[in-house]
Amino acid sequence: MSKPARGLEAAGLVGRAGDPSDTRAVQLSLTDEGHPVTGRAVEVVHRLVNGTLAPLGALDGPDAEAFTQMLTALLDVPVPAVTEPSMKE
């Protein structure tokens, strides 16, 4: 995460400060330049999600809510590790 954070800092979108409770960690905060960029990104993601969920009544539709709950339940199920079958005969 530090490489993307450095890129955002170099672009002037975030500021970095030491974490007073953990000397190994840093805290990132949006700069004045970062706020509008973040706002535009959130708008784009919102439009994409609404477009994807349009057949279900968009993001706020009851079918979309049911779909989201089912998808969350599926994603919460642990997936067993897959092992390659032995090639010995």
CA angle 51, 55, 57 (to 5 degrees): 85
Pick the residue with more confidence: 46 or 79? 46
Tokens of 81: 């590790």
pLDDT (tens digit per residue) in 33-76: 999 999 999 999 999 988 988 998 888 888 988 998 999 999 99
- Model confidence band, residue 88 (pLDDT cutoffs 50, 70, 90): low
Is the pTM higher than 0.85? The answer reads no
pLDDT (tens digit per residue) in 10-33: 999 999 998 889 988 889 999 999
